[in-house]
Amino acid sequence: MKKALTAGLLSAFIAPGSGHFYLKHKRSALVFFSLAVISLMLLLMQIYQVAQVIALEIQNGTLPLDVGVISAEITQQTQTTMANANELLYGFLLCWLVALVDSIRLGLKQDKQDALTTNTAGY
């Protein structure tokens, strides 16, 4: 299997930066993986904050134990509190896409270098 395909599959299905790690570009792998983890952590923190607000409202008795009312409150809290959650999600997806494309680019470059060294060694 070519390095470009392997690196692309790793980046696409494992984690951003895993293709770079496979290609021995460890700094790039660390950057892409760190960006992805940070954006996911920030996104999960916002989701956790919404859940905490709703749980406190239920505990205080301001929100009744009715599934329909709780569902409506979740929808309202999500729309108001998580305005920049889409930005975090898009940032995460952009990081993943850039890591995927870059790992394929680097893999193609290494495949070309490997082909040149194989051809020159054979002559």
Cα 54 from Cα 71, distance rounded (Å): 10
Do 9 and 23 meet the contact criterion of CB atoms below 8 Å apart? no
Q: Is the pLDDT of residue 122 over 70?
A: no
Query: Lowest-confidence range among 10-14, 41-45, 98-102, 106-110?
Result: 41-45
* Residue 47, pLDDT score: 85
Total-model pTM: 0.78
